[in-house]
Amino acid sequence: MASNFLFFGILIAICSVVLASDPSPLQDFCVADPNGPVLVNGHACKDPKLVEANDFFLSGLHFPGNTSNPVGSRVTPANVVQIPGLNTLGISLVRIDYAPWGINPPHTHPRATEILTVIEGTLEVGFVTSNPELRLITKKLEKGDVFVFPVGLVHFQRNVGYSNAVAIAALSSQNPGVITIANSVFGSNPAIPNDLLAKSFQVDIKIIDWIQSKF
């Protein structure tokens, strides 16, 4: 009897792991059809007979992004929106440009792990583990270095050099999503009540009003 329970316990564990992962494609490709009439988790498939090379192609990633903004960085995506052929394949790419001392502010990707490679410059990167430990894991990266940000964890990058920096990052989803912490907390629509934020951050409500005015 005990062996039966062990067998079913292992079976349930294996099934849970399988169900928790993205499904594998059941055909060669499923090019996204953004105008498809069917609502699915992702995108409906374009008629395979109408698929062409440009559905799997994107040019221009060698051009620097415009970093003239308050954070001094620009993320240029290459996901299913830009490359319809990525639909169902579970992968995407971004180019990140950083002005001197520019940052990619703390954010999360709810649907993807990220692996980042420094192409030019020097970056300080890090992520924070979940409650209750909230441990900061950080490292200084040089050209050619690689760093991984686990799925869902808050992470950031900062250019710590006096020249521009560039990184390329791959993500384990066709549509990884991004939640920028400051924008989400202080720039939501409608706004999170300022008294709730004041109590959460243990500051005067006027400080919250001032921060929210920035977003």
As annotated, the binding site for oxalate includes 104, 109, 114
Q: How far apart are CA 180 and CA 104, in angstroms?
A: 9
Half-sphere exposure of 171 (CA within 13 A, CB side): 23
CB burial of 53-65 (b: ≥16 within 10 Å; e: otherwise) equals eebeeeeeeeeeb
As annotated, the binding site includes 104, 107, 109, 114, 155
Q: How far apart are CA 92 and CA 170, in angstroms?
A: 6
3-state secondary structure of 162: coil
3-state secondary structure of 92: strand
As annotated, the binding site for Mn(2+) includes 107, 109, 114, 155
